Amino acid sequence: MPLHGFIKSFMENYIPISYINDFIFCPRSIYNHQMYQNRDELVYQGEVQTKGKAAHINIDNKRYSDKKNVLQNFEVYSVKYQLFGKIDVFDIEKGLLTERKNNIKTIYDGFIFQLYAQYFGLAEMGYQVKEMALYDFSKNRMYPIQLPENNRIMKQKFENTLEEINEFSLLRKGFSANKFKCVKCIYNLLCDASLC
C-alpha cells in the first residue's frame, strides 16, 4: 500500500479531539458534523459558534504569540488513545497548555477532556505539560484544570467516554433527543432527530 494510503487508513481509526465535547453534548451531533462539515459554515453555524471560532482566528493564523518556545495551532496525536487534533497554545518553557474559549459559563467535562486529549498527545510527542487551563478571552480569565494524573476519577471518565464514542452506532436503539439541547444545537434545522 502506498504510504499516503497507509496513513489515511491508519488515521481513519482515530477520533478527532473536537468530537469528544460534541459527543458528550449529543452523540448524534458527531453524525451531523460529518454530514455537514463541508457545507457553507454560515448555513449552520449559530452566533455562539461563530464567536467561538473568532477566538481561534489569531491562533489559526499563528498570530497569538511570536515566541519561539510557544506552540500554537499545533497538531498532536495520541497512539494510546487513538486521538488526533490541534492544541491552541502550549508554552514549552512554562509547560502550560491553554485552550481558549469564549464566555465560559460552565466548565463542561467535554472542555476538560479536550485538554486531556491534547495533554496525552503532547506527552506522547515528548513535551512535558506541567499545568493546563481554559482561558476565557471574553472575561480575560484563566480556569486551571488538574492534570489527568492528579484526578483519577476524571481520567477514568475520559477513558469511558472514548470507549462510548468508539462503540456508538446510529442504529443502536434507545437514543432519545433532549429538547433543551436541541434548542441550543447548531444542527437543529438539519437533524432528523431534533425536537425543535
Contact call for residue 177 and ligand SF4 (CB under 6 A): yes
Q: With binding defined as CB under 6 A, does residue 24 bind ligand SF4?
A: no
Contacts with ligand SF4 by CB under 6 A: the residue count is 13
26 touches ligand SF4 by CB under 6 A? yes
Q: Residue 52: phi, psi to the nearest 5?
A: -60, -40
Q: Does residue 28 interact with ligand SF4 by CB under 6 A?
A: yes
Among 21, 32, 72, 161, indicate the residue that binds ligand SF4 (CB under 6 A): 32
**Which stretch in 49-57, 94-102, 119-127, 185-193 sits in contact with ligand SF4 by CB under 6 A?**
185-193
CB-nearer residue toward ligand SF4: 46 or 130: 46
Nearest in space to 24 (alpha carbons), one of 161, 196, 117, 184: 161
| DSSP 8-class letter at 8 | H
Which span (7-15, 120-128, 132-140, 182-190) binds ligand SF4, by CB under 6 A?
Answer: 182-190
By CB under 6 A, which span of 23-31, 44-52, 131-139, 154-162 interacts with ligand SF4?
23-31
Q: Which is nearer to ligand SF4, 17 or 26 (CB)?
A: 26
Q: What are phi and psi of 45, to 5 degrees?
A: -90, 125
User: Using CA atoms, how far apart are residues 74 and 76, in angstroms rounded to an integer?
Assistant: 6
The runs of H, that is alpha helices, within the chain are 3-12, 18-25, 28-36, 41-44, 47-54, 57-60, 109-124, 152-167, 179-184
Closest Cα to residue 97, out of 130, 120, 61, 124?
A: 130
Pairing, β 131-136 against β 96-101: parallel
Min CB(191)–ligand SF4 separation in Å:
3
Q: What angle do CA 174, 179, 180 make, to 5 degrees?
A: 125
Instruction: Using DSSP, state whether 134 is helix, strand or coil.
Output: strand
Contact characters 72-111, ligand SF4, x per CB under 6 A:
----------------------------------------
Kindly state the cell numbers that stand for 49. Answer: 459558534
Q: Which stretch binds ligand SF4 (CB under 6 A): 8-16, 74-82, 159-167, 176-184?
A: 176-184
The contact set with ligand SF4 (CB under 6 A) reads 26, 28-29, 32, 177, 181-182, 185, 187-188, 191, 193-194
